[in-house]
Amino acid sequence: MPDQPSAPHCTATLYTAALYLATRYAQSGCPRICRLVAQHFELIANYPDPSLTGGLRETCRRLRADWERIGAEREQLMRKAMISGAPEVAAGPLH
């Protein structure tokens, strides 16, 4: 059976993925990517790595809430743009 990756290694992978997804969101404005960023911050906040401080976990929880809010705002703007027929607003990033 292969060795399991260490908790710090997995935590670093989660950080890396969250940063990558945040960059993709900045380029695309896609609300689905925004939800993935929020999910990654939630995973980090709850990851069983004893090296994660309480402050870091709380920061990740707050970032998750921020990204959820951003995603909801983006979805709402995209729906309004689609209804009004303004595809340029629906297509580009807003944050």
Helix (H, G, I), strand (E, B) or coil at 26: helix
4 pLDDT more than 70: no
Query: Could you read off the pLDDT of 23-82 as tens digits, one per residue?
Result: 999 999 999 999 999 999 999 999 999 999 999 999 999 999 999 999 999 999 888 888
pLDDT of residue 9: 81
Amino acid at 20: Y
* CA–CA dist 84, 31 (Å, integer): 19
Q: Please list, in sequence order, all residues whose beta carbon lies within 8 angstroms of the beta carbon of residue 57, skipping any fewer than 6 positions away.
A: 44, 45, 46
* CA–CA dist 61, 41 (Å, integer): 7
Amino acid at 57: R
Greater confidence (87 vs 68) lies with 68
Residue 62 tokens read as: 């707050």
